[in-house]
Structure 1
Amino acid sequence: MPQITVDHSHSVTAGFDREGFARDLHAATVEIAAARPEACKTQFRPADLTAYGYEDPKERRHAVVHVTIGLLAGRTDDTKARLTETALELLKKHLKGDGAVVHASAEVRDLDASYRKFEGEL
């Protein structure tokens, strides 16, 4: 915890400083949501195909980036809102466009009570 996932259109990969974004988002998550730095983990999942409205996906005039932050329950709605707003600001900082319209979003979800993890060498 936190479990962070960034789903994004493949078309933004070249202009997305993912390492910088993850580093800055981890720092913000520690500051805003009182997470431990060593607990922050982020996975990036580029999508080969992004469809937007009725547009032909091959035109690639639109791109999507969605950040999901999973935290253990107990954070206030204000804390969650501050974290999502910060994630969106960080996307603006770390995304360099190619002329496509970017549709960016972020959300914080409470991890289910069944959440467990293990850490160890394989």
Structure 2
Amino acid sequence: MPFVHVEYSERLTETFDRQAFAREVHAAAPAIVDAPSVAFKTRFRRIEESYFGEGDDGIDAVFVQLSILTGRTPEAREKLSETVRDIALQHAKAPEGRRLHLMVEVREMERESYRFHKD
């Protein structure tokens, strides 16, 4: 924890530098939410099919969801969202003739019910 879940359009496979994105998020976000960088975990899932608006097929998308434990201020959550959005915009580029939509959401996980195990 924190968890960074990233879903991205299949067409972005060659134009989204996912490893650079993760490195930068893991470097920038800890200070914002007061969590050690070693605690950040990012996973990526490619979206094979999506449908936007009224069927606009010229859009590729990156959806980022950050899951953090409760207790951060609204200002910290907002700054985290904006920082991650800006990092994603640096590393995800729409292929020629297409548009990029990028969404970031910060969600809180209840501390009382969160459990983990690691070896």
Q: Tell whether the 8 Å contact from 2:93 to 2:100 is kept in structure 1 after alignment.
A: no
> Could you tell me how far apart the structure 1 residues matched to 2:94 and 2:64 are?
18
User: What is the identity percentage for the equivalent residue pairs of Structure 1 and Structure 2?
Assistant: 36
Aligned partner of residue 14 in structure 1, secondary structure: coil
> Could you tell me how far apart the structure 2 residues matched to 1:51 and 1:86 are?
27
TM-superposed deviation, 1:55: 2.3
**What is the one-letter code of the residue matched to 1:114?**
S
Q: Give the equivalent residue in structure 2 for 1:42.
A: 42
1:1-122 superposed matches below 5 A: 1-55=1-55, 60-98=57-95, 99-112=97-110, 113-120=112-119
> Could you tell me how far apart the structure 1 residues matched to 2:15 and 2:101 are?
15
Q: Tell whether the 8 Å contact from 2:9 to 2:49 is kept in structure 1 after alignment.
A: yes
1:89-117 deviation per Cα after TM superposition (whole angstroms, max 9, x unaligned): 11111112213211111111111331111
1:27-84 deviation per Cα after TM superposition (whole angstroms, max 9, x unaligned): 111121111111000000111001112326xxx4101211111111100000000010
TM-score by length of 1: 0.89
Gaps of 5+ in 2: none
Gaps of 5+ in 1: none
| Structure with the bigger percentage of helix | 1
> Could you tell me how far apart the structure 1 residues matched to 2:88 and 2:108 are?
22
- CA RMSD between the two structures: 1.3
**What is the one-letter code of the residue matched to 2:99?**
V
